[in-house]
Structure 1
């Protein structure tokens, strides 16, 4: 996401996901509060684990540039969508 989406997530057409990575629990809580202050509800904040998971976010830049080229715009984000809990793979 670009800075416009980061600071005004309610300006997007629908819900999206922001990722948190890091080894410090208190730092993640502080970051989560700051994100909430910017308009990111806790349900949109996805803790993906320790600091090593930040590498995936860094590599997302390549996908971001491809999507931006396809859209002709840089203000967008993605949304992580999961299966409803009633339809977990074990129940299928």
Structure 2
């Protein structure tokens, strides 16, 4: 199931030091991709954020943001394995 959920994070982001590798271990099926820049200019200066399968997830507090990212990744995995149609996608 590895790689069903892609979590994209900018290396300049405030999340870079908050255990992204551990997040991938806690959420089977998730892959964390850390890049130099994901062209969301300025957002990394204000909020911790990541894209979870293309959906922007953010919060001013990095710890809360990590929890939101994990929740979103788990929701995507539940949806992918449920067989529900696109209308119910998270």
TM-score interval w.r.t. the shorter chain? Answer: 0.3 to 0.5
* TM-score normalised by L of structure 1: 0.32
Considering only CA atoms, is the larger Rg found in Structure 1 or Structure 2? 1
Higher relative contact order (Cα pairs below 8 Å, separated by 6+ residues)? 1
Give the structure with the larger helix fraction. Answer: 1
Give the structure with the larger strand fraction. Answer: 2
